[in-house]
Amino acid sequence: DVKVTQSSRYLVKRTGEKVFLECVQDMDHENMFWYRQDPGLGLRLIYFSYDVKMKEKGDIPEGYSVSREKKERFSLILESASTNQTSMYLCASNRGLLAGVPDTQYFGPGTRLTVL
Amino acid sequence: SQQGEEDPQALSIQEGENATMNCSYKTSINNLQWYRQNSGRGLVHLILIRSNEREKHSGRLRVTLDTSKKSSSLLITASRAADTASYFCATPAGGSTLGRLYFGRGTQLTVWP
């Protein structure tokens, strides 16, 4: 079974802190994704990566950066956390396109981040 | 936006009843996926339906796709309390060669014992 793990289930940080959220997948997937999920807004894509050291902005990249130094690991970085970044953060991975159809995305359990 | 939109936003039913959720989208797609999310957890893939399929079954799940109306429905038959979750439809990002999906805002299903 595909397993996607996230470093923390719950995290509390202070405004201005630099925050690292880590995601690891064990299925050699090419693609990895970071979403944030807020009530009433659904899942919004922050960044995704389609290969080591390759990344693309999603719909809401402002205030975030990412790092993918190894294929299995995708990190989301909040350079200077703000209260409006309090949210549930979800990581996912997949194999990309298979015969023109997006592969199933496999999600981690999520990290609930609170910024005080 | 190509984001799918689920309807209704919330649905409350008794165990044993059927639950139907709908998804509408804006642009042509070659497939649509449904996911489930238990409270406070990540999403789990349920089923994928391709544009050349009108209906697909998986256990108690039945998914339909009407490309002419740009809509899909997810039917859960004989619902159980354990089906309580949020359900999301996901559509491919147009023009993307990278396997990106757009997710809707979800339908919150509550099944009462």
- pLDDT confidence tier of residue A86, bands split at 50, 70 and 90: very high
pLDDT at B97 (0 to 100): 60
d(CA A46, CA A57): 6
- Count of CB pairs separated by less than 8 Å, A with B: 68
Q: Kindly tell me if the per-residue pLDDT of A2 is higher than 90.
A: no
The mean pLDDT value of chain B amounts to 92
Mean of pLDDT values over A20-39? 95
Residue with the bigger pLDDT between B20 and B27: it is: B20
Q: For residue B10, which residues of chain A lie inside 8 Å, CB to CB?
A: none
pLDDT at B3 (0 to 100): 72
The answer to whether B62 and A59 are in contact (CB under 8 A) is no
Q: Chain B: give the shortest CA distance to residue A54, in Å.
A: 12
The answer to whether B23 and B72 are in contact (CB under 8 A) is yes
> Residue A75 belongs to what H/E stretch?
strand A73-78
Mean of pLDDT values over B79-100? 87
A94 closest CA partner among A10, A19, A2: A2
Residue with the bigger pLDDT between B28 and A69: it is: A69
pLDDT tens track for B27-82: 888 899 999 999 989 999 999 999 999 999 999 999 999 999 999 999 999 999 99
CB contact under 8 A, A105 and B43: yes
Mean of pLDDT values over A50-77? 95
- pLDDT confidence tier of residue B2, bands split at 50, 70 and 90: low
Mean of pLDDT values over A62-85? 97
pLDDT tens track for A100-109: 888 899 999 9
CB contact under 8 A, B98 and A108: no
- pLDDT confidence tier of residue A24, bands split at 50, 70 and 90: very high
d(CA B105, CA B9): 8
Q: For residue A111, which residues of chain B lie inside 8 Å, CB to CB?
A: none
Exposed e or buried b per residue across B73-112, where buried means at least 16 C-beta atoms within 10 angstroms of its C-beta: bbbbeebeeebbbbbbbbbbbeebebbbbbbbbbbbbebe
The mean pLDDT value of chain A amounts to 94
Residue of B nearest to A37 (CA): B105
In chain B, the percentage of residues whose pLDDT exceeds 70 is: 95
